[in-house]
Amino acid sequence: MLPEIGYLALLASLLTALLLLALPFLAKRYPVLPLLKLLSALLFLFALSAISMLAYSFVQDDFSVLYVAAHSNSELPLLFKVAATWGGHEGSMLFWLVTLSLWTFLFACCGQKTEVRFKATVIAVLALIYSALCLYTLMLSDPFERFFPAPFQGRDLNPMLQDIALVFHPPLLYLGYVGFALNFALSLATLLLQTEAQVFARHSRTWALLSWGWLTCGIVLGAWWAYYELGWGGWWFWDPVENASLIPWLLGLGLIHSLIATQRQGLYPYWSLLLSLLAFSASLLGTFIVRSGVITSVHAFSIDPSRGYALLAMFFVFSGFGLAIFAFKAKPAHSPRRWRLWSQATGLLLLNILTAIAAFSVLLGTFYPLLFSTFGFGSISVGAPYFNTIFTPLVILCLAVMLLWLNGGLQTAWRRYLSGFTLALASTLATIFYNLQQDPHNSWQLLPTVFVLLAFWLLFSLFLYAIRAYQQRRLHTALAMLLGHGGLVLVVIAAMMSGYYSSDLGVKLALDESAELHRYQFDFQGIEYRLAANYTTETALLAVTHHAERFMLQPEKRFYDIRNSMMSEVAIKAGLLGDLYIVMGDKSGDRYAFGLHYKPLIQWLWLGGIFMALAAFFSIGLRRFAQRSATEAATEQGTRLC
């Protein structure tokens, strides 16, 4: 009975969304704000009730529900039963709807100073998106579908998804993906009602920061999950599903910086509106990539491609509609301030261009093999060499633009804007020349040298900028700048160091044999067999000695008998300066294969990602605190004058 209640709740949410579509037309004559909040709350409650019924079906092992039988098992731990709710295609689409209804409800309750008709139009656009996706879920991806007779046991959750990261990784990604729908709706409402660009930027900036911050958290968690779960020793593989999250992340990054210029100076309104449209369009495209089955990925849902084509049609409809409105309704912008070549506004423009190029490059590399085969040209593979070749100069240019921007904010005369940038560039060129003179045949080492040198110089400039901002009593600006851009610097340093200076060794060890890597000695002490809830493990015992330190690492091979699949679980000794990373391979005779890896500074990668996400969240709270403090100071000063 509970699955039927969930289906009815989902149907009720669709009817509520259709009612929300009428509110912009009533806002001209009637006070619709209370009704707007009530319907938005009902939309969220109905969607939440639907997914709660599905989650309860998982907990109760109701295998008469087709989706539960395909993704769960009675022996699955309770936490993973709950996480399996969004572990497949149908459940993830339902979670998409819940997240969209949450953003709609939050926008309806926040922004008390927002004009009612504008708010109603924004929510109507969100309701239109919700209605389309809800119809898709009800008609093509029903998570409550039953079948009889019910099997005695379920098929179990994909072993690769039976990890604590699954509980958090997809919800964080959905919060980011779906959050850009709000920026999409804000841009359409701005164009349809001809609202001022600075008003749009003021409304949109907070939501863009929230969406981008959650998406950053999801991407970082996903990279960490791939690092320790897949056993490849890397953290980013340019997989199509990984690229699906990177494209809106890049566009969202450009959007945030463009909104800063639009809100403060009225600059780049076209960029802000267009990036708002494209960021959500990229999120819809990512939904298609993950769920279509037309692109092979270790992360993708394997489903009937016909359902993916419906998502592709939705992508074209909403993207085409948004771009058409932009083409016909966007009016020429008149900048209230004089545009200067050497200024921080120029740096923001260059950053927009670089992020747009990067996003398009990822999109091209992801879909080019599919288009190549579709048109009958054969098969082609686009992998890491293409993306690394494209992103290397883009990241260097991005770091250089950041240096220019920061030094522009530090100095007052335009002749001194380039001082720090010129010094960094001269130091980089000098280092390149020196390395070429020392060893012309080993020029590959120049790349990490350039990156790390620029990154450390940028980190130094960030501290100078933060000190200057603190002296000017702009603590919120100093903290957000230091966390956000400093986090990017840490990511760049970690990517370069772990990519170019990792140590790897493949060995086969028998009992009591040893191997050595990066001044660590590994002694193989035996094998233990263990029984878990729904799998058995074969665990290797490796004693590791480093100087006077001695500790144990235990890589595993897990066998899931229900799925008849084997998974490797790596053993990691994490450290601030580097990680020991051990993968257990197959047995050959009396010897076991092991992959031994040392990853320098890899922890800086996760730390930098966390810093970037915190910068997005802190900038919202600190900016509001600064505005409140300024208002209180102005009020106090007015009281004294009176």
Q: Reduce the secondary structure of 155-194 to three states and give it as a string.
A: CCCCHHHCCHHHHHHHHHHHHHHHHHHHHHHHHHHHHHHC
Give the single-character DSSP code of 65.
B
Contacts of 268 (CB under 8 A, 6+ apart): 258, 261, 262, 345, 348, 349, 352
Would residue 121 count as lying in a domain?
yes
444 with 518, same domain: the answer is: no
The amino acid sitting at 572 is I
Segment 525-535 shows an average pLDDT of: 88
Find out whether 232 and 582 touch, Cβ atoms under 8 Å: no
- Dihedrals phi, psi of 14, to nearest 5 degrees: -65, -45
pLDDT class of 438 with cuts at 50, 70, 90: low
Res 348 pLDDT > 60: yes
Find out whether 492 and 399 touch, Cβ atoms under 8 Å: yes
Contacts of 407 (CB under 8 A, 6+ apart): 416, 417, 418, 419, 420, 421, 461
The domain containing residue 520 runs over which residues?
Answer: 503-602
Res 440 pLDDT > 60: no
401 with 414, same domain: the answer is: no
Q: Which of 162, 194, 209 is the last residue of a domain?
A: 162
Res 104 pLDDT > 90: yes
> Looking at residue 415, what is its pLDDT?
41
Range ranked top by mean pLDDT from 292-296, 344-348, 557-561: 557-561
Query: Cα dist. 162→173, 313, 429, 558, 560 in Å?
Result: 18, 32, 49, 12, 11
Contacts of 584 (CB under 8 A, 6+ apart): 538, 540, 555, 556, 557, 568, 569, 570, 571, 592, 593, 594
Convert the pLDDT of each residue in 560-604 to its tens digit.
887 778 888 899 999 888 999 999 998 888 899 999 999 999 999
> Looking at residue 339, what is its pLDDT?
56
More confident of the two residues 384 and 218:
218
| Minimum mean pLDDT range among 180-194, 527-541, 612-626 | 612-626
Would residue 336 count as lying in a domain?
no
> Looking at residue 589, what is its pLDDT?
86
Task: Return the percentage of the chain with pLDDT > 70, whole number.
Answer: 85
> Looking at residue 632, what is its pLDDT?
46
CA distance 593 to 507: 6
Find out whether 300 and 244 touch, Cβ atoms under 8 Å: no
The amino acid sitting at 396 is I
Res 132 pLDDT > 50: yes
CA distance 126 to 110: 15
> Looking at residue 500, what is its pLDDT?
84
Convert the pLDDT of each residue in 259-283 to its tens digit.
988 888 888 899 999 999 999 999 9
- Other C-beta atoms within 10 Å of 613: how many? 25
Tell me if residue 550 falls in helix, strand or coil: strand
Would residue 386 count as lying in a domain?
yes
Convert the pLDDT of each residue in 220-232 to its tens digit.
999 998 898 877 7
Tell me if residue 30 falls in helix, strand or coil: coil
CA distance 213 to 219: 10
Three-state SS annotation for 489-538: HHHHHHHHHHHHCCEEEEEEECCCCEEEECCEEEEEEEEEEEECCCCEEE
> Looking at residue 542, what is its pLDDT?
95
Segment 377-398 shows an average pLDDT of: 82
Q: Which of 144, 162, 180 is the last residue of a domain?
A: 162
Res 414 pLDDT > 50: no
101 with 245, same domain: the answer is: no
478 with 523, same domain: the answer is: no
The upper half-sphere exposure of residue 226, i.e. CA atoms within 13 Å in the direction of its Cβ, equals: 17
Q: Which of 113, 144, 162 is the last residue of a domain?
A: 162
For the chain, give the longest Cα–Cα distance: 92
Helix-helix angle 33-59:2-20, to 10 degrees: 160
| Residues β-bridged to residue 556 | 539, 569
pLDDT class of 208 with cuts at 50, 70, 90: very high
Contacts of 452 (CB under 8 A, 6+ apart): 492, 493, 496, 497
| Minimum mean pLDDT range among 72-81, 168-177, 348-357, 420-429 | 420-429
> Looking at residue 293, what is its pLDDT?
61
Find out whether 184 and 322 touch, Cβ atoms under 8 Å: yes
Segment 328-352 shows an average pLDDT of: 70
Res 136 pLDDT > 90: yes
287 with 270, same domain: the answer is: yes
Would residue 584 count as lying in a domain?
yes
Find out whether 512 and 490 touch, Cβ atoms under 8 Å: no
Res 627 pLDDT > 60: no
* Stated pTM of the model: 0.90
More confident of the two residues 589 and 253:
253
> Looking at residue 413, what is its pLDDT?
41
Give the CA angle between residues 18, 23, 29 to the nearest 5°.
Answer: 155
What token pair was written down for 6? 């969930």
- Dihedrals phi, psi of 21, to nearest 5 degrees: -65, -25
> Looking at residue 625, what is its pLDDT?
57
Res 113 pLDDT > 80: no
> Looking at residue 418, what is its pLDDT?
47
370 with 221, same domain: the answer is: yes
Res 380 pLDDT > 60: yes
134 with 239, same domain: the answer is: no
The region, left, alpha or beta by phi > 0 then psi within -120 to 50, assigned to residue 151 is beta
> Looking at residue 603, what is its pLDDT?
93
525 with 476, same domain: the answer is: no
pLDDT class of 294 with cuts at 50, 70, 90: low
> Looking at residue 153, what is its pLDDT?
87
Would residue 239 count as lying in a domain?
yes
> Looking at residue 561, what is its pLDDT?
82
More confident of the two residues 419 and 20:
20
Segment 487-500 shows an average pLDDT of: 89
Give the single-character DSSP code of 150.
P
| Minimum mean pLDDT range among 162-176, 263-277, 409-423 | 409-423
Give the CA angle between residues 77, 79, 85 to the nearest 5°.
Answer: 105
| Minimum mean pLDDT range among 207-216, 261-270, 407-416, 535-544 | 407-416
Which is it for the CA torsion 573, 574, 578, 582, positive or negative?
A: positive
> Looking at residue 393, what is its pLDDT?
86
Mean of pLDDT over the chain: 84
Calculate the CA dihedral of residues 336, 342, 345, 347 and round it to 10 degrees. 160
116 with 216, same domain: the answer is: no
151 with 7, same domain: the answer is: yes
Res 292 pLDDT > 70: no
pLDDT class of 361 with cuts at 50, 70, 90: very high
Res 343 pLDDT > 80: no
More confident of the two residues 17 and 423:
17
The upper half-sphere exposure of residue 439, i.e. CA atoms within 13 Å in the direction of its Cβ, equals: 6
More confident of the two residues 20 and 451:
20
622 with 597, same domain: the answer is: no
Segment 383-389 shows an average pLDDT of: 86
| Residues β-bridged to residue 504 | 597
240 with 385, same domain: the answer is: yes
CA distance 73 to 41: 34
> Looking at residue 412, what is its pLDDT?
47
Q: How many folded domains does the chain comprise?
A: 4
> Looking at residue 448, what is its pLDDT?
76
